[in-house]
Structure 1
């Protein structure tokens, strides 16, 4: 038994994605998906005989089952009492057919944007995204709403505008939601975040004696962490995806939006107010270096040799921890011909200096 999800790519209008799941519903790891690709394009797979062709099963009453589980995992009474006012941009995607009926029962004053299915608009260009973000921010501010959510076309990830109309960068959003979650659920023992997450998350958890589990920078790695450790109560990604294991072991934009409403209601704190009280503790500087796929292995070996004297974390790529205030992540992109260089420090100048230093080194190693 296994599963497959076919969708239009949220990143490229000309592509469709095939996402394979194992028998437990988790994303297949990268090694297995690459093996499937090699077998398919090489036509090295076995042909099933007529009597052994498999079947496709479509679960009955899936929407009703989803909605029941959704409501059971949300404190609906707290949201009703808060009388929140929320703007939601559905991005012409799947959530427009599901979320309105759910949120309608939460006593929330909602204004909806782009709340109808349109496959031709499922994938947004950068210009279209920023224009939509600006419209959502304008709606939130002009109507005095508490928060604005933009769901991506597949209803997996969210973008958030606070009550002041500020569109929150994903790393900042992760920090704020982590803080709110631990305030509302102080019994939490562990959370999980990818290796790319800011050290601010570690600081927040250290202050509350909560263990941080670091994972690889992919949805499948986040899912694997949740299913492997039942003590993990919350998983936050750096691309707008959140996992709440009591509901589902995968990212879900609709549930994430509802859960954030619950956190706001129970903490009596709006996102913009919290952001003002919590100035950013670190500066994050990012840069990408072009690197052909066939040279990534060589570059990784050079990085390992160059950083041998430093403390390193090798969960995904190479993360060098210089001290409690500075770190550097060198991460080869899984799909594109680039290397990511992410430096984080209490001072912007040190982060920028590290990025420039390793940008120069990577270019030299690639050119050798």
Structure 2
């Protein structure tokens, strides 16, 4: 950049986040399973609440999101005074980096995790440090051994996107026990609602015993409200106070809050979403068994598909073939997984279509 308008250090090192494709030229009806959007869509009660709010569009929303925080607290049995809401969990991740890291500091995360961690670190002026994984899963020992005197934040996606792996309760606790008290552990649990594994820990209890742990959540995934951009985090009073000091005064829309409250209270709809997701986590690997495509174990609402190295059967060839059928999966080359595509779990007929297309591709 020339002239006098120079941004803060490290800003120009950021590569803008690029989402997956939404359409394919020449295809009117595209099957888009690339953004980890909930298959069955939002609760009808959330839609009704959103529509009912239309008469209030000229008014600013209540700035502290108290009603939403109260509902979150009641549903999750956590203290509402330790909750802050944001415009998606993305905003909260950015605010955390802005508040607790800066030039000369290090922000750690595992190598195949959410791209926003790196962006947030650089935007704050800190150095992003990617920690190698073991078998596409966070390795606690490697994280611990990477902590230095400059480390200020550790981002842990649990479950992790796009790999679908997670750290068990005992490993999460071991990680926290080996982190200095001046290092903030941020547990990003965007996909927590989908997890049915008995060893998974949403980390609420850890927050309640530790000042240096924050948990983030979103309404974009299991609650299917991605377009409304609503998220929240749970942390110690000290951390929440700091975030509240720098967040925008009306950072969550009124319509988003009302829809999120209704979604939280519709437990039947959430259960249906989880049931469908669990069905295809188990069934889809069987659907493409023997094709040469590997399904990485997942607890989220997506499966990472690993393709052979053969140039005619690799991930790029598969992506091109699927495009020709009007199907979009997520290219994850930017995550360092050039031999993979990520499949968002969809409705029954969508999953059957993808399975059929992949079998056809591998036979062709």
What TM-score bracket applies, with the shorter chain setting the length?
0.3 to 0.5
TM-score (norm 1): 0.36
Q: Which has the higher contact order (CA 8 A, sep 6+)?
A: 2
TM-score by length of 2: 0.36
